[in-house]
Amino acid sequence: MNTNVQKILTQIKKLCEQRCVRLTPQRLAVLRLISQYNGAISAYNLLHLLRQSALPHAKPSTIYRALNFLLEQGFIHRIESTNSFMLCHYFFELSHNFAFFICNSCKQVTEQTTKGIEEILQNMAKITGFTMFNNIIEAHGLCTKCINIQLHSYLRS
Ligand SMILES: [Zn+2]
Ligand SMILES: [Zn+2]
């Protein structure tokens, strides 16, 4: 297994012990699949991969229960616009505001903290008398790799 994935899983196991929450084999199996996946993955694809690997008899409810746990603990994020899930790269920070940059071509998702943007949104909310609890910023476009591929084929044609 990828050493980076191994490192992340070890850190998360430690966090679960500190928080006295149980990282059951099902939860761990789902987390492992998400951390191995490059980008965001749908619950349907997770179920498919889980059945092929750790849990051949996994049910949709297994996935949803595991996903809920991982979301609650802040280990993963849900990408609303594509209804898929990805590993949080700042899971060791208890809460953070983030923006997602989603590649429409390869589906890779980059997570960036939103320092500055958060203030602007709060000010905008204040002007309209709105009390904002949370916000989700999801930007769609092309990653460096995919824009280069497109430029390359454009220049050749
Ligand atoms: Zn995050
Ligand atoms: Zn891409």
If you measure from the C-alpha of residue 146 to the centroid of ligand 2, how many angstroms do you get, rounded to a whole number? Answer: 4
User: What is the token pair recorded at 131?
Assistant: 């009390």
| pLDDT tens across the length of the chain (157 residues) | 577 899 999 999 999 999 999 999 999 999 999 999 888 999 999 999 999 988 899 999 999 999 999 999 999 999 999 999 999 988 877 667 789 999 999 988 999 888 888 889 899 999 999 998 888 899 999 999 999 998 888 888 7
**Structural domains of the chain ordered from first start:** 1-90 (1.10.10.10), 97-157 (3.30.1490.190)
The per-residue pLDDT for 1 is 55
The most distant pair of C-alpha atoms in the chain lies apart, rounded to whole Å, by 59
Query: How many whole angstroms from 30 Cα to the centroid of ligand 2?
Result: 24
Gap from CA of 151 to ligand 1 centroid (Å):
31
Residue among 60, 12, 59 nearest 32 (CA) = 12
The residues placing their C-beta within 5 Å of ligand 2, an ion, are 103, 105-106, 143, 146
